Structure 1
Amino acid sequence: MRGAVLAAAALLTVGMLGAGKSDPLAGRIAGAPVRCIDLRQLNGPEIVDSQTILYHQSGKRTWKTGPVGECASLRPLDTLIVDVYGGQLCRNDRFRTVSTGMSIPSGYCRFRDFTPYDRVK
């Protein structure tokens, strides 16, 4: 009986964690993708999942990008190491990740285009 109660509690906890996730782009409208974005106005990056990286610009705009093709090392809570040339971040610029507690970065991945998402008023 006790095992059944613990199993039910574990399932409830897992269900609550999954339900707590929200779409970081909810309430926003996508614009036309661009090749480069200006880094001076951005906060981030935020790794959402293996295909989504967000950069936040003030409270109104969020830029969405991701890797070209597969980037197996891209996971939430990892640190992104970006090779920046000049003041812009552009499609095909390279990045790597470092997992928490690790010191050796992953192999290189490349950025896709950057899509602006603006908050709906």
Structure 2
Amino acid sequence: MTARIATASLAALALLTLGACARGEAADERDVIRAPQAQVVGEPVNCVSLDRIERTQVHDDYTIDFHMRNNTIYRNTLPARCGSLGFERRFAYQVSTGQLCRLDMIRVITGNGIDGVTCGLGPFVPIELTGQPR
């Protein structure tokens, strides 16, 4: 009887340990920032004009660089993690004005074309890239 209790206790402990390890790996992966180092070169703005956006570059689940037609880069660091954004690297948005603004929502587009999670944007901070990706 004692052997069964000990075996059951060890099995339960092993499952708890595996669960903790899995959660730890997920948390570490979740917090990975892959955006290249940059220097802030001006005051944040709340909106950017859609017709001035040349391209976007998604770095991770938190960071999108908006490359503008005048060679300005605005970095948008999302206020919360946007699950699978860094993996999919594609997003869509729908606005009623000609601007994309802080607090507007983006939706991750998955590889199979299904809409993913919806996430809010932060302020647009003008940057200059200073180094290689971390």
Compute the TM-score of the two structures, normalised by the length of structure 1. 0.67
Q: Which amino acid aligns with 1:38?
A: S
Q: Quote the Cα distance in structure 2 between the aligned partners of 1:118 and 1:85.
A: 30
Measured after TM superposition, the shift of residue 77 of structure 1 is 4.7
Measured after TM superposition, the shift of residue 104 of structure 1 is 1.1
> In angstroms, what is the RMSD of aligned CA positions?
2.5
Pairing partner for 1:23 from 19, 36, 59: 36
What stretches of structure 2 of length at least 5 have no aligned partner? 1-33
Which secondary structure state, in structure 2, belongs to the residue aligned with residue 108 of structure 1? strand
Q: Which amino acid aligns with 2:74?
A: W
Structure 1 runs of 4+ with >6 Å offset: none
Number of aligned pairs?
A: 97
Q: What does 1:104-119 correspond to in 2, within 5 Å?
A: 104-118=114-128
Q: Does 1:103 align with 2:113?
A: yes
Identical counterparts, % of pairs: 25
Measured after TM superposition, the shift of residue 46 of structure 1 is 1.2
Q: Which residue of 2 aligns with 1:92?
A: 103
Measured after TM superposition, the shift of residue 119 of structure 1 is 7.4
Which secondary structure state, in structure 1, belongs to the residue aligned with residue 116 of structure 2? coil
Q: Which residue of 1 aligns with 2:52?
A: 41
Contact 2:35/2:60 (8 A) holds in 1: no
Q: Quote the Cα distance in structure 2 between the aligned partners of 1:43 and 1:76.
A: 22
Q: Quote the Cα distance in structure 2 between the aligned partners of 1:60 and 1:75.
A: 23
Compute the TM-score of the two structures, normalised by the length of structure 2. 0.61
Higher Cα Rg, which structure: 2
Contact 1:60/1:119 (8 A) holds in 2: no
Q: Quote the Cα distance in structure 1 between the aligned partners of 2:127 and 2:37.
A: 10
What stretches of structure 1 of length at least 5 have no aligned partner? 1-20
